[in-house]
Amino acid sequence: QVQLVESGGGLVQAGGSLRLSCAVSGRTFSSLSMGWFRQAPGEEREFVAVITRSGGNTRYADSVKGRFTISRDNAKNTVYLQMNSLLPEDTAVYYCAAEVSGGMTRTLRGYDYWGQGTQVTVSS
In this predicted model, what pLDDT tens digit does every residue of 35-82 receive, in sequence order?
999 999 999 999 999 999 999 999 999 999 999 999 999 999 999 999
What type of residue is 113? Y
Mean pLDDT of 82-106: 96
Rounded to a whole number of angstroms, the CA Rg of the chain reads 13
| DSSP category for residue 27 | S
What is the 8-class DSSP label of residue 88?
Answer: G
Q: Is the pLDDT of residue 10 over 90?
A: yes
N- to C-terminal Cα separation, the chain: 40
pLDDT of residue 1: 87
pLDDT number for residue 102? 84
